[in-house]
């Protein structure tokens, strides 16, 4: 008797346990960079779109995807890098946006700035710098609680 291969939903559930190396509060699935998981014969193909083509975490992300899948019994695996269409913050899941805010990072907003402080919820916020701890974030501050926070820029 041969073992049934895992479903795409099961594989996505495993990958949903792999944290983003730069923002460990969200998974690679939450981030929206896992574009597809498909079987080509006995080989699992995972398509990944980096947040930007020069992302320094790409090799770490690929190693973590491979580790997670091999730990779950996937023997034959191919990682495919897909640059088009490019990743956007629209691909963040709602669950991922909520996790960002709970972690203290304001999720991206189409208006170009955070709606509220992720620490206290106040709407009185100001930009400190267009550049934050990573290229995809800007530094903001709440004028109510005075706490600084990162804002995940819209891309």
pLDDT in tens, 16-73: 999 999 899 999 999 999 999 999 999 999 999 998 888 888 999 999 999 999 999 9
pLDDT at 2 over 80: no
- The residues, ordered by sequence, that sit 6+ positions from 132 with a Cβ below 8 Å of its Cβ are 138, 139, 150, 151
Q: Where are the domains of the chain?
A: 8-90, 104-152
**pLDDT for 55:** 80
| Mean pLDDT computed over 102-114 | 91
Rounded Cα–Cα distance for residues 131 and 44 (Å):
38
The CATH superfamily label for domain 8-90 reads Fe-S cluster assembly (FSCA) (3.30.300.130)
pTM: 0.88
Instruction: Please provide the DSSP assignment of 9-31 as one string.
Output: HHHHHHHTTSB-SS-TTSBHHHH
- Vertex 115 angle, CA 111 and 120, to 5°: 165
């Amino acid at each position: 008797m041969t073992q049934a291969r895992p479903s795409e939903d099961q594989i996505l559930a495993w990958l949903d346990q792999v944290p983003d190396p730069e923002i460990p509060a969200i998974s690679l699935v939450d981030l929206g960079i896992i574009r597809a998981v498909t079987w080509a014969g006995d080989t699992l193909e995972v398509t990944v779109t980096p947040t930007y083509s020069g992302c320094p975490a790409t090799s770490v992300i690929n190693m973590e995807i491979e580790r997670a899948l091999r730990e779950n019994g996937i023997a034959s695996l191919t990682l495919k890098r897909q640059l088009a269409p490019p990743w956007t913050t629209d691909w963040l899941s709602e669950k991922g946006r909520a996790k960002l805010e709970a972690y203290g990072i304001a999720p991206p907003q189409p208006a170009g700035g955070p709606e509220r402080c992720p620490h206290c919820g106040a709407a009185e916020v100001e930009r400190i710098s267009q550049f934050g701890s990573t290229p995809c974030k800007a530094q903001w501050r709440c004028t109510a609680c005075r706490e600084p926070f990162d804002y995940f820029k819209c891309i």
